[in-house]
Amino acid sequence: MTARGIALLAVLAAVLLALPAFVGGYALSLATLILLSAYTGQAWNVMMGFAGQLSLGHALYVGVGAYAAAALFFHYGIGPWAGVWLAIALCALLGAAIGFLAFRFGISGVYFALLTIAFAEFTRIGFDHLDWTGGPGGLFIKVAQRDRVDLLNLRGTPAMFYYVVLALVAGAFALCAWLLNSRAGYYWQAIREDEDAARALGIDTFRWKMVAVVLSAAMTAVAGVFFAFYYNNLFPEQIFNIGRSIEIILGPVIGGVGTLFGPILGAAVLNLLADGITELIAALGWEIPGIKQVFYGLVLLVVVMFVPHGIWPALARKLKVSR
Amino acid sequence: MSLDLVANVVIAGLLTGLVYGLMALGLSVIFGVVRVVNFAHGEMLTIAMYATVVLFAAWRLDPFWALVPVTVAFFAAGYLLQAGLINPFITRPEHSQFMLLVAVAIIMVNALLMIFGPDARNVQVDYQLDSFALGKILVDKARLYAALAAIAGSAVLFAFFRYTRTGTAIRACADNHLGALVVGLNVRHLYAFTFGLGSACVAVAGVMMVLLVEVNPSLGPAYTLLAFVIVIVGGLGSMGGALLGGVLIGMSEALAGLLVTPSAKSMFSFGLLILVLLFRPQGLLGRRP
C-alpha cells in the first residue's frame, strides 16, 4: 500500500468512527447493515478470494453461529461472549467436516460449490424440524431496553451495535492484510492460480485448503452471533436461505474477489444501491412487489458484464493507492 | 401401512421423477457442452409453467397443445440468451458466471412476481381427476401423460444427439473445445443451439409440471436446487444420469413424504446428494472428470 493509500485509509477510519455522532437512526442502521455484509464478504473472500474455493453455502455458518449463541442465551442465559466461542467451534468443525469430505474425495470447482449448497439446505430443513430451537416458528431473544449499553450481553443502543460490527470489520481487515502477506497467503494464492503446480512445488494443498475453509467458517460464525443479537429473531427459512448465501457473495464479487478492500466497497455499493432503488421506486410511486429486485438484478447484470474484476481494482488504480 | 399404498406412492414418485428428469436433462446438456451451470434453470421452468397457465386462461388451450408454442419460444429464447449474454462469459471464472446467472434468475423470479403476484395459479383439465386402475394400484392419468411426454422429449433429444449432424457437432464441442474450433465448427452457434435445446427440455417439463402442481414465483429457486441435486446424483453432463437421478429423487421425495413428513422430503434429496458426492462424486452414471 502506498503512503497515499494509508492516508486515505486513516481518513476513512476517522469518518467511520465519528459517523454515529452525525447521522440519524436510519442512516446508522444502514451503515450497520453495510458493515455486517462487508464482514461476511471478507470472511467468504478468505476461502474464495485467497484460496480459490468457491462456497455458495456460507449462510450455513451464519445460521449455525447465530443459532448456537442465541440458543445458549435463550435456554441458559449464557451471554454472547461465551456463546461466540461455541459458535466459532461449531462452524469451524462444520467447515472442517465439509472441507475434509470434499478435498479428500477430490471434489472441486462446481461440484464443491454445489456440495456447500447441499449442506446449507440440508441444515436449513434440519432446523425446521428441530424443536429445541423453535423449528420453523423461529427463535426469539428478549428485546432489551435500547437506551442502556450492556456490552456483556450485547444489549444496547444502535450505536453500540455499529461499533461492534465496525470493530469486526477492522479486525477482519487487519487479519486478511496480515494473512495475504504471510506464508499461508502465498500458498493460498498459488493454490488458487494452479493447484497442480502448487502441489508440485511441495505445498500441502489439502492442509492449506482446510485452513482456508475452517478460518472462513469461523469468521462467518461471528457474523451469525452478531446477527442473532442485533435482530433478536431467527428463522431457518431466512437465515439459511440460499438467497443469503448469494448476498454474502455479491459484495466481494462486485467489489473485487481476492482484494482486501473489495468486500467492503462491494457491500457499501450494493446496500446503498438497494436503498437507492427502494427510495426511487417509492418516489415514483411504482410500488409493485418484485419491481425493486428486478432493478437490482438488472444493475447486477450490468456490473458483472462490464466490470468483470470488480470495482475496487479499477478504483484503486484511479486513486493510486496500491503499487 | 399397506403395500398397495407404498406401491401407489412409489409409482407416482417415479412418474413425477421422469418430468424432473427431463428438466434436469436440460441442465445436464447445457453443462456438459457449454460448461456453465445454469443457476436460472428452475426460474425458467416456472416461466414455462406460467406460459401454460396464461395460454390456458386465454384460449382454453390444453397443456398438450401448449407444448408446441412454449417449446419453440423457449428454444429461441435460450438460443438468444446464450448468444447474447452467456457466450462472452464462457472463458470467465466460475464465480463470474454464477453471478451472471444469479442476476438473470433474480430478474426472472421478480418479473413473474410483478406480473402475476404471489398467489398460486393452476390449470384445470378433466383428465386431472381421472386415473387408471391396475388391480389395486391407481395411476393418475395426468401424471402418466406427463411422464410419457417427458420420455418422448428425452427420446427426441437422445436421437438428435445420436443421429443428426448438428448433434454430432455439439458432441464434438463437448469432447474437445479446441479441436472443434480447429476443424472449423462454429462453436458459439453450437453453444447457443445447445442452450436452446436445454431450454426446450425445461419448456416441456414445465408445461407438464403444471398438470401436477400449482405454480407461484417462489418455486423457481426450489426447482433450480432440485435440478442440481438430480444432475449431481445422476452425473453432471450425463444424459441417462439425469433421467435416472430424476426418477430416484422423485421416488425418494414421495417415500419421504409418506414415511416421515412431507416437509422433510427435500432433506432426503439433499442427504442422497451428499452421499453421492462423497462416494461417487462423478454421479451414478457420470464419467470421472
Residue B271 domain-assigned? Answer: no
**Structural contact between residues A39 and A168, judged by C-beta atoms closer than 8 angstroms:** yes
**Structural contact between residues B42 and B24, judged by C-beta atoms closer than 8 angstroms:** no
Distance of CA B41 to the CA centre of its chain: 7
Residue B245 domain-assigned? Answer: no
Q: Closest residue of B to A117, CA-based?
A: B225
Looking at the structure of chain B, the number of domains it has is 1
From chain B, the residues in CB contact with A111 under 8 A are: 232, 236, 277, 281
Contact B111 A308 (CB under 8 A): no
**Structural contact between residues B53 and B62, judged by C-beta atoms closer than 8 angstroms:** no
CA–CA separation, A164 vs A16, rounded Å?
12
pLDDT along chain B (289 residues), means of 10: 82 92 93 89 95 93 92 96 91 86 92 91 83 81 91 94 92 87 90 95 95 90 90 85 92 85 78 82 74
Which residue of A109, A243, A293 is in closest CB contact with B94?
A109
Coil vs helix vs strand at B212: coil
> What are residue B131's phi and psi, to 5 degrees?
-150, 160
Chain A nearest CA to B110, separation (Å): 4
Terminal-residue alpha carbon distance, chain B = 43
pLDDT digits (tens, 9 = 90+) for A296-317: 888 889 888 888 888 898 888 8
Give the pLDDT of residue A228: 92
Say which residues have a Cβ less than 8 Å from residue A77's Cβ, sequence separation at least 6.
Answer: none
Residue B171 domain-assigned? Answer: yes
Interfacial B residues in 12-41 facing A (CB < 8 Å)? 31, 37
CA–CA separation, A284 vs B170, rounded Å?
48
Per-domain boundaries in chain A = 24-241
Give the number of residues written for chain B: 289
Say which residues have a Cβ less than 8 Å from residue B151's Cβ, sequence separation at least 6.
Answer: B18
CA–CA separation, A56 vs A85, rounded Å?
24
Which residue of B96, B103, B225 is in closest CB contact with A121?
B225
Strands (E), A69-181: 139-140
Residue B283 domain-assigned? Answer: no
Which residue of B95, B107, B236 is in closest CB contact with A297?
B107
Chain A nearest CA to B44, separation (Å): 15
**Structural contact between residues B119 and B224, judged by C-beta atoms closer than 8 angstroms:** no
Coil vs helix vs strand at B35: coil
Coil vs helix vs strand at B287: coil
Residue B135 domain-assigned? Answer: yes
Name the interface residues of A facing B (CB cutoff 8 Å). Answer: 48, 54, 56, 101-102, 105-107, 109-111, 113-115, 117-119, 121-122, 125-126, 128-129, 242-243, 246, 249-250, 253, 257, 288-294, 296-298, 300-301, 304-305, 308
> What are residue B125's phi and psi, to 5 degrees?
-120, 155
Residue B80 domain-assigned? Answer: yes
CA–CA separation, B240 vs B219, rounded Å?
25
CA–CA separation, A83 vs B247, rounded Å?
44
DSSP code per residue over B181-209: HHTT--HHHHHHHHHHHHHHHHHHHHHHH
Residue B166: domain span: 3-219
pLDDT digits (tens, 9 = 90+) for A29-65: 999 999 999 999 999 999 999 999 999 899 999 999 9
Residue B74 domain-assigned? Answer: yes
CA–CA separation, A129 vs A321, rounded Å?
50
The b/e string for B103-139 (b: 16+ C-beta within 10 A; e otherwise) is bbbbbbbbbbbbebeeeebbbebeebeebeeeeeeeb
From chain A, the residues in CB contact with B221 under 8 A are: 242-243
Contact A111 B281 (CB under 8 A): yes
Contact A290 B278 (CB under 8 A): no
Say which residues have a Cβ less than 8 Å from residue B255's Cβ, sequence separation at least 6.
Answer: B6, B9, B10, B13, B268
Give the pLDDT of residue B288: 60
ipTM summary value = 0.84
Chain B nearest CA to A250, separation (Å): 7
Residues of chain A predicted below pLDDT 70: 1, 144-147, 322-323
* Mutation site, B27, B90, B96, B99, interface A, largest A CB count within 10 A: B99
